[in-house]
């Protein structure tokens, strides 16, 4: 087993967040036997529905994150990197690691509190960010928003190509919201449920969290959120949808080429059978980088969206190598 520590970190940024989620958070640390000054700092971001402890989960049918770290430590491929995984779970099931007036300022928490504290405590060198799904989206987004402190990222199946990965969930979400009497009433029912992981909740919960991430609105009467569809008719609201698309990595990557070009490590991968069609958006990201001659790693592998922790074996080794230079 790798050297693992479970710490607690109290965030000033998350205090008094709109959802009254806790400001004190778990922090899982994977440390080498000897902490060396200047070693890379790798920040891990959980996918939607997960938290810091999700990286400690064990499944006898899958490759587990702790097994990946142990293997890379033994082979020397992880070098002296310190891995820090913060808990960023919210009452809406997760977040996209952006600042939101409807959910909390999680980008600020990571970039202005967590990373400076880790760098000060361990005297680390370059910083990289990695994650899958929402964590992959967060890794890319945090890196391009903060290139002055983040030198590389690994994006595993991160939300991209929003018309393909989100729009298919809109009709059922609209139906469930209408049945409940609205998003607020639906959320109240969800909160009272004894099985919050039930399949029937997942699509509406995901769209609720994405709406709170991409289009928060303090002046809205509905949960301080603008939804991308009319809550009565269900028709798509173009002005709100346009705001969502400004977060889409398949679109924003063209705007961020110079920032990405200057990074030390750019890693993308996605399953060819991704259940949310994220491979379409990720292919575009790869094409834009390839045509612009931006050095990066990309692979579309034969698998889906779930149980792909084995992919961290490639990405962590890649980040450790490129951020140690």
Q: What is the pLDDT of residues 34-73, one digit of tens each?
A: 999 999 999 999 999 999 999 999 889 899 999 999 999 9
Place of tokens 């292919």: 283
∠ at Cα 126 (56, 310), nearest 5°? 35
∠ at Cα 220 (214, 226), nearest 5°? 30
What are the structure tokens assigned to 130, written together? 């990695």
Put simply, whether the predicted model's pTM sits higher than 0.85 gets the answer yes
Phi, psi of 15 (to 5 degrees): -60, 135
**Predicted pLDDT at 79:** 86
pLDDT (mean) for 84-98: 97
Cβ neighbours for 156, distance < 8 A, ≥ 6 positions apart: 130, 131, 132, 133, 135, 136, 269, 270, 308, 311, 312, 315
**Predicted pLDDT at 82:** 98
**Predicted pLDDT at 240:** 98
Nearest to 288 by CA among 249, 324, 240: 249
**Predicted pLDDT at 1:** 67
To the nearest whole number, what is the mean pLDDT of the chain? 97
The single-letter DSSP state of residue 48 is: T
Cβ neighbours for 181, distance < 8 A, ≥ 6 positions apart: none
SS3 content of the chain, % helix, strand, coil (to 5): 40, 20, 40
The strand pair at 41-45 and 127-132 is best described as: parallel
In the predicted structure, residue 179 carries a pLDDT above the cut 70: yes
What is the gyration radius of the CA atoms in the chain, in angstroms?
Answer: 19
Percent of the chain with pLDDT over 70: 99
Q: How far is CA 253 from CA 145, 218, 225, 271, 284, in A?
A: 11, 28, 26, 20, 9
pLDDT in tens, 105-154: 999 999 999 999 999 999 999 999 999 999 999 999 999 999 999 999 99
pLDDT in tens, 289-309: 999 999 999 999 999 999 999
- The two most distant CA atoms of the chain are separated, in Å, by 60
Ordered by where they begin, the domains of the chain are 3-161+248-323 (3.40.50.1820), 164-245 (no CATH)
Place of tokens 């009319």: 230
The strand pair at 24-31 and 3-10 is best described as: antiparallel
More confident site: 2 or 283 = 283
| Whole-angstrom distance, CA of residue 165 vs CA of residue 274 | 10
- Please give the full DSSP string across 209-239, using - where no structure is assigned: HHHHHH-B-TT-TTTTB--SB-TTT--B-HH
Q: How far is CA 158 from CA 58, 214, 288, in A?
A: 23, 15, 16
Under 8 Å between Cβ of 244 and 228: yes
């Amino acid at each position: 087993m790798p050297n693992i520590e479970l710490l607690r970190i109290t965030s000033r940024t998350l205090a008094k967040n709109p959802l009254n989620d806790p400001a004190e958070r778990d922090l899982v640390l994977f440390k080498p036997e000897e902490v060396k000054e200047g070693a890379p700092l790798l920040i891990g971001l959980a996918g939607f529905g997960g938290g810091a402890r999700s990286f400690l989960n064990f499944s006898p049918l899958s490759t587990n994150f702790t097994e990946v770290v142990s293997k890379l430590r033994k082979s020397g491929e992880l070098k002296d990197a310190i891995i820090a995984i913060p808990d960023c779970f919210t009452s809406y099931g997760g977040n996209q690691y952006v600042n939101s007036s409807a959910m909390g300022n999680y980008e600020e928490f990571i970039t202005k509190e967590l990373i400076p504290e880790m760098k000060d405590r361990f005297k680390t060198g370059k910083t990289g960010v990695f994650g899958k799904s929402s964590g992959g989206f967060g890794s890319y987004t945090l890196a391009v928003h903060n290139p002055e402190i983040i030198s590389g990222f690994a994006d595993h199946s991160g939300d991209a190509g929003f018309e393909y990965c989100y729009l298919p969930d809109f009709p059922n979400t609209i139906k469930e919201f209408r049945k409940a009497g609205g998003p607020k009433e639906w959320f109240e029912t969800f909160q009272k449920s004894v099985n919050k992981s039930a399949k029937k909740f997942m699509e509406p919960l995901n769209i609720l969290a994405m709406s709170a991430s991409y289009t928060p609105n303090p002046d809205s009467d509905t949960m301080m959120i603008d939804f991308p569809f009319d809550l009565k008719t269900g028709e798509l609201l173009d002005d709100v949808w346009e705001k969502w698309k400004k977060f889409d990595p398949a679109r924003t990557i063209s705007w961020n080429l110079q920032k990405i070009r200057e990074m030390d490590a750019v890693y993308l991968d996605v399953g060819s059978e991704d259940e949310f069609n994220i491979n379409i958006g990720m292919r575009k990201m790869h094409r834009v980088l390839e045509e612009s001659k931006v050095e990066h790693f990309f692979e579309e592998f034969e698998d889906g969206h779930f149980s792909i922790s084995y992919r961290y074996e490639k990405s962590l080794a890649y980040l450790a190598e490129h951020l140690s230079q």
